Amino acid sequence: MPAPEPRVRFRDKQIEMAHGAGGKASRRLIEGLFAPLLCDLSSGPLGDAAHVLMNGAPIAITADSFVVKPLRFPGGSIGELAVNGTVNDLAVSGARAHTLVVTYILEAGLPSEILEQEVRAMAAAARRAGVAIAGGDTKVVEHGKADRMYISSCGIGSLIEGVHVAPETVRPGDRVLLSGPIGDHGITILLARGELDFEAEICSDTRPVLPMIEALAAAAARGIRWMRDPTRGGVATSLNELARDCGLGIRLSEDRIPVHDSVRGACELLGLEPLHIANEGQFLAVVAPEMADAALAALRAAPGGHQAAIIGEVTEQPARTVLSATPYGGTRVVDMLVGDPLPRIC
């Protein structure tokens, strides 16, 4: 098996929007600057949440922050997103969220009504996800310095029994599962900004994915090798990270990837690739081939998982590459997101 790619170095002159977009620039920043200076990398590649031992007991811990604009959008809002995003990072690491703490960074002049709405949205999301919010912090900055409000959160959780996810355990022949249609969240936000003069019936998919992961674990815990929630950078970026971390290839079948027609239409018009669009309520799982059918059946039977699909397979070659096969016999390389998705001009 080929050795994993060497670590990257961070040599960019300044921070740009792309460093926050979840693609290649984000990866350089994390792996070239943050991780080497802040973390012990001997325990393997960085996942969505860290698993640590505290007095001998394993716990999962993660941090997340939310700067979405606009604050409210069809299907959700920043408060709900903050809870779901944090519990989902824990869930795909194989952990059940237990407690969150949250920080609000507020801008002077923010109407209290908007803040209350978001606090209420957060409380409702926490109840739905079955997680406690144990505390937090508030900071206020001058008007115009924080685009109304940002939320940051930290979550801890306990490990789901029998689930061990790590890219090193992925083998050729493993199947790639996707929990449902992709691109809803990113396209919803893009349209909610109102900069494009068109509308579509799309809602954000923000939701906790734990119930689906628990159903998957109940049916095929031993078979689960890796999981990820494909948020910024989309499915393409998550799978490229996997391909790089495990040193193998991934071959997708384009016609098996569920995408709502409205999302496909918007992507066609704007020249975007659905595989690069952010999701907030889906996850990817790599499952051992002999358990893939059982895993898929369990996922489809779980609430919200009826559109789950096996979208591809892990391959020996080409190493560290994601390929997509078209329904008519062509193939193309699916790379990570570069920069922010930019529409074509003609």
Partner 1 sequence: MRFVDEFREPALITRTAQEIRRLADPTRHYRLMEVCGGHTHAIYRFGLKDLLPSNIELIHGPGCPVCVLPMGRIDDGLSLTEHPEVIFTAFGDMMRVPGTRGSPLEHKARGADVRIVYSPSDALKLAQTNPGRHVMFFAIGFETTAPSTALTLMRARSLGIRNFSVFCNHVTIIPAIRAILDSPDMRLDAFIGPGHVSTVIGCRPYEWIARNERKPIVVSGFEPLDMLESVMMLLRQLKEGRVEVENQYKRVVPWEGNRAALKAMAEVFQLRPYFEWRGMGFISQSALRLRDSYAEWDAEQRFQIPGVRVTDPKAAQCGEVLKGVLKPHQCKLFGNECTPERPVGALMVSSEGSCAAYYNYEHLKTAMVSSVASAL
Distance of CA 215 to the CA centre of its chain: 19
Interior angle at CA 148, CA 142 and CA 153, nearest 5:
100
| Least distance from partner 1 to the Cβ atom of residue 78, Å | 23
Question: Prior bond to 318 cis, omega within 30?
Answer: yes
Nearer to partner 1, 28 or 185 (CB): 28
Find the binder of partner 1 among 116, 137, 261, 290 (CB under 8 A). Answer: 261
Q: Which of 34, 27, 102, 69 is nearest to 338 (CA)?
A: 27
Which residues on adjacent β-strands are paired with residue 324? Answer: 252, 332
Which range binds partner 1 by CB under 8 A, 60-68, 141-149, 222-230, 322-330?
Answer: 322-330
Contact present, 227 and 245 (Cβ < 8 Å): no
Nearer to partner 1, 156 or 190 (CB): 190
| Least distance from partner 1 to the Cβ atom of residue 198, Å | 10
H/E stretch holding 149 reads strand 149-159
Contact present, 255 and 327 (Cβ < 8 Å): yes
3-state secondary structure of 249: strand
- Contact flag: residue 1 with partner 1 (CB under 8 A): no
User: Per CB under 8 A, which of residues 192..211 are in contact with partner 1?
Assistant: 195-196
- Contact flag: residue 342 with partner 1 (CB under 8 A): yes
Query: Other C-beta atoms within 10 Å of 146: how many?
Result: 18
**Nearby residues of 161 by Cβ (< 8 Å), 6 or more positions away:** 217, 221
**Nearby residues of 283 by Cβ (< 8 Å), 6 or more positions away:** 88, 91, 92, 178, 179, 209, 212, 213, 227, 228, 229, 230
Find the binder of partner 1 among 25, 71, 277, 309 (CB under 8 A). Answer: 25
H/E stretch holding 301 reads helix 289-301
| Least distance from partner 1 to the Cβ atom of residue 25, Å | 7
Which range binds partner 1 by CB under 8 A, 11-19, 92-100, 122-130, 161-169?
Answer: 11-19
| Least distance from partner 1 to the Cβ atom of residue 313, Å | 17
Which range binds partner 1 by CB under 8 A, 53-61, 129-137, 168-176, 333-341?
Answer: 333-341
Q: Which of 181, 176, 228 is nearest to 205 (CA)?
A: 181
User: Per CB under 8 A, which of residues 301..320 are in contact with partner 1?
Assistant: 317-318
| Least distance from partner 1 to the Cβ atom of residue 22, Å | 14
User: Per CB under 8 A, which of residues 265..294 are in contact with partner 1?
Assistant: 265, 268, 271
| Least distance from partner 1 to the Cβ atom of residue 218, Å | 37
| Residue ranges that bind partner 1, judged by CB under 8 A | 14-17, 24-25, 195-196, 261, 264-265, 268, 271, 317-318, 321, 323, 325-333, 335, 338-339, 342-346
